Amino acid sequence: MRNGKEVVTDHGITIVYTGDGKGKTTAALGLCFRALGYGMKCAIVQFIKSNTSTGEYKFAENTPLVEIHTMGDGFVYDPNDADAKAAAVAAWNKAKALITDPKYDVIILDEITYAFKLNFLSVNELISVLSRRPASMSVVITGRNCPQEIMDVVDLVTEMKMQKHPFNVGKKAVRGIDF
Protein backbone atom coordinates (compact mmCIF):
# COMPACT_ATOMS: atom_id res chain seq x y z
CA MET A 1 0.00 0.00 0.00
CA ARG A 2 1.13 3.52 -0.75
CA ASN A 3 -0.91 6.45 0.56
CA GLY A 4 -3.88 4.13 0.93
CA LYS A 5 -3.67 2.91 -2.68
CA GLU A 6 -2.48 -0.47 -3.82
CA VAL A 7 0.74 -0.39 -5.84
CA VAL A 8 0.46 -2.50 -8.98
CA THR A 9 3.64 -3.76 -10.59
CA ASP A 10 2.47 -6.52 -12.91
CA HIS A 11 1.05 -4.49 -15.78
CA GLY A 12 2.47 -1.89 -18.09
CA ILE A 13 1.01 1.34 -19.39
CA THR A 14 1.28 3.40 -22.56
CA ILE A 15 2.52 6.97 -22.31
CA VAL A 16 2.80 9.93 -24.69
CA TYR A 17 5.08 12.92 -24.09
CA THR A 18 4.23 15.53 -26.74
CA GLY A 19 4.07 19.29 -27.25
CA ASP A 20 6.37 22.09 -28.38
CA GLY A 21 8.33 22.32 -25.14
CA LYS A 22 11.65 20.80 -24.21
CA GLY A 23 11.63 17.70 -22.06
CA LYS A 24 9.87 14.94 -23.98
CA THR A 25 12.92 12.74 -24.50
CA THR A 26 14.30 13.83 -21.13
CA ALA A 27 11.11 12.65 -19.38
CA ALA A 28 11.22 9.33 -21.22
CA LEU A 29 14.87 8.83 -20.29
CA GLY A 30 14.07 9.69 -16.67
CA LEU A 31 11.38 7.00 -16.70
CA CYS A 32 13.95 4.58 -18.15
CA PHE A 33 16.41 5.51 -15.40
CA ARG A 34 13.75 4.79 -12.76
CA ALA A 35 12.90 1.42 -14.35
CA LEU A 36 16.59 0.49 -14.42
CA GLY A 37 16.69 1.09 -10.68
CA TYR A 38 14.21 -1.77 -10.31
CA GLY A 39 16.24 -4.06 -12.56
CA MET A 40 13.87 -3.68 -15.50
CA LYS A 41 15.07 -4.21 -19.09
CA CYS A 42 14.61 -1.15 -21.32
CA ALA A 43 15.02 -0.47 -25.03
CA ILE A 44 15.06 2.89 -26.77
CA VAL A 45 14.49 3.37 -30.49
CA GLN A 46 15.46 6.83 -31.71
CA PHE A 47 13.54 7.68 -34.89
CA ILE A 48 15.14 11.06 -35.66
CA LYS A 49 18.51 11.16 -33.94
CA SER A 50 21.36 9.86 -36.06
CA ASN A 51 24.25 10.84 -33.80
CA THR A 52 25.63 8.25 -31.39
CA SER A 53 27.75 10.73 -29.44
CA THR A 54 24.88 11.79 -27.16
CA GLY A 55 24.98 11.33 -23.41
CA GLU A 56 22.13 8.82 -23.47
CA TYR A 57 23.91 6.70 -26.08
CA LYS A 58 27.17 6.75 -24.10
CA PHE A 59 25.26 5.73 -20.94
CA ALA A 60 23.38 2.91 -22.69
CA GLU A 61 26.58 1.47 -24.15
CA ASN A 62 27.78 0.71 -20.63
CA THR A 63 24.48 -0.37 -19.08
CA PRO A 64 23.49 -4.00 -19.71
CA LEU A 65 19.80 -3.49 -18.90
CA VAL A 66 19.25 -0.83 -21.56
CA GLU A 67 19.61 -0.98 -25.34
CA ILE A 68 19.59 2.08 -27.55
CA HIS A 69 18.97 1.93 -31.28
CA THR A 70 19.82 5.26 -32.92
CA MET A 71 18.29 4.78 -36.35
CA GLY A 72 17.23 8.21 -37.57
CA ASP A 73 18.33 10.25 -40.54
CA GLY A 74 18.35 13.59 -38.71
CA PHE A 75 15.50 16.09 -38.81
CA VAL A 76 13.52 15.70 -42.02
CA TYR A 77 10.88 18.04 -43.40
CA ASP A 78 10.28 16.53 -46.84
CA PRO A 79 7.64 13.78 -46.98
CA ASN A 80 9.20 12.65 -50.28
CA ASP A 81 12.64 11.97 -48.76
CA ALA A 82 13.10 8.27 -49.61
CA ASP A 83 16.17 7.81 -47.39
CA ALA A 84 14.41 9.31 -44.38
CA LYS A 85 11.36 7.15 -44.99
CA ALA A 86 13.54 4.03 -45.25
CA ALA A 87 15.23 4.96 -41.96
CA ALA A 88 11.83 5.44 -40.27
CA VAL A 89 10.57 2.10 -41.58
CA ALA A 90 13.74 0.34 -40.38
CA ALA A 91 13.36 1.95 -36.94
CA TRP A 92 9.69 0.90 -36.84
CA ASN A 93 10.59 -2.69 -37.77
CA LYS A 94 13.10 -2.72 -34.89
CA ALA A 95 10.48 -1.21 -32.56
CA LYS A 96 7.87 -3.84 -33.52
CA ALA A 97 10.33 -6.63 -32.77
CA LEU A 98 11.11 -5.11 -29.36
CA ILE A 99 7.45 -4.46 -28.47
CA THR A 100 6.53 -8.09 -29.12
CA ASP A 101 9.50 -9.45 -27.13
CA PRO A 102 8.47 -10.23 -23.53
CA LYS A 103 12.02 -9.87 -22.21
CA TYR A 104 11.61 -6.06 -22.24
CA ASP A 105 9.78 -4.09 -19.58
CA VAL A 106 9.96 -0.58 -21.06
CA ILE A 107 10.20 0.48 -24.71
CA ILE A 108 10.75 4.12 -25.66
CA LEU A 109 9.83 5.22 -29.18
CA ASP A 110 11.74 8.49 -29.22
CA GLU A 111 10.47 11.10 -31.69
CA ILE A 112 8.31 8.59 -33.56
CA THR A 113 5.54 11.18 -33.97
CA TYR A 114 7.51 12.96 -36.71
CA ALA A 115 7.26 9.82 -38.85
CA PHE A 116 3.46 10.01 -38.60
CA LYS A 117 3.42 13.71 -39.52
CA LEU A 118 5.42 12.92 -42.68
CA ASN A 119 3.22 9.88 -43.46
CA PHE A 120 6.21 7.54 -43.25
CA LEU A 121 4.41 5.24 -40.79
CA SER A 122 0.82 4.16 -40.09
CA VAL A 123 -0.88 5.38 -36.92
CA ASN A 124 -3.27 2.42 -37.10
CA GLU A 125 -0.39 -0.05 -37.26
CA LEU A 126 1.18 1.48 -34.13
CA ILE A 127 -2.14 1.24 -32.30
CA SER A 128 -2.50 -2.39 -33.36
CA VAL A 129 1.03 -3.28 -32.22
CA LEU A 130 0.50 -1.52 -28.87
CA SER A 131 -2.64 -3.58 -28.29
CA ARG A 132 -0.65 -6.81 -28.76
CA ARG A 133 2.29 -5.96 -26.49
CA PRO A 134 2.96 -8.13 -23.44
CA ALA A 135 0.69 -7.04 -20.58
CA SER A 136 3.62 -6.21 -18.31
CA MET A 137 5.34 -3.93 -20.87
CA SER A 138 5.17 -0.14 -20.82
CA VAL A 139 5.66 1.83 -24.03
CA VAL A 140 6.58 5.52 -24.15
CA ILE A 141 6.00 7.60 -27.29
CA THR A 142 7.71 10.98 -27.68
CA GLY A 143 7.60 13.83 -30.17
CA ARG A 144 5.71 16.93 -31.18
CA ASN A 145 2.25 16.83 -32.76
CA CYS A 146 1.25 13.36 -31.59
CA PRO A 147 -1.76 12.21 -33.61
CA GLN A 148 -5.01 12.42 -31.65
CA GLU A 149 -5.81 8.79 -32.49
CA ILE A 150 -2.76 7.70 -30.50
CA MET A 151 -3.51 10.02 -27.58
CA ASP A 152 -7.04 8.60 -27.46
CA VAL A 153 -5.85 5.02 -26.86
CA VAL A 154 -2.86 5.44 -24.53
CA ASP A 155 -3.11 5.53 -20.75
CA LEU A 156 -1.26 8.79 -20.05
CA VAL A 157 -0.60 11.92 -22.11
CA THR A 158 1.63 14.79 -21.01
CA GLU A 159 1.98 17.88 -23.17
CA MET A 160 5.18 19.87 -22.72
CA LYS A 161 4.55 23.57 -23.39
CA MET A 162 7.39 25.93 -24.21
CA GLN A 163 7.38 29.06 -22.11
CA LYS A 164 10.96 30.13 -22.74
CA HIS A 165 13.89 28.50 -24.52
CA PRO A 166 17.56 29.53 -24.72
CA PHE A 167 17.74 28.59 -28.43
CA ASN A 168 15.35 31.48 -29.14
CA VAL A 169 17.97 33.99 -27.95
CA GLY A 170 20.83 32.35 -29.82
CA LYS A 171 22.25 30.09 -27.12
CA LYS A 172 23.65 26.78 -28.32
CA ALA A 173 22.82 23.29 -27.04
CA VAL A 174 24.62 22.28 -23.84
CA ARG A 175 26.37 18.90 -23.59
CA GLY A 176 24.83 16.86 -20.78
CA ILE A 177 21.65 18.96 -20.82
CA ASP A 178 20.46 18.99 -24.43
CA PHE A 179 22.34 15.98 -25.80
Three-state secondary structure along 102-142?
CCCCEEEEECCHHHHHCCCCCHHHHHHHHHCCCCCCEEEEE
- The model's confidence at residue 4, banded by pLDDT at 50, 70 and 90, is low
Q: Cβ neighbours of residue 58 under 8 Å, at least 6 residues apart?
A: none
| pLDDT value of residue 174 | 82
At residue 59, the 3 state secondary structure works out as helix
| pLDDT value of residue 29 | 97
Query: Is the pTM of the predicted complex or chain greater than 0.85?
Result: yes
Has residue 2 got a pLDDT over 60? no
Query: Across the chain, what does the average pLDDT equal?
Result: 92
The domain spans of the chain are: 14-161
Above pLDDT 70, what percent of the chain? Answer: 95
Q: Which residue did the predictor score with more confidence, 43 or 171?
A: 43
- Distance from C-alpha of 142 to C-alpha of 151, rounded to nearest angstrom: 11
**CATH architecture of the domain with residue range 14-161:** 3-Layer(aba) Sandwich (3.40)
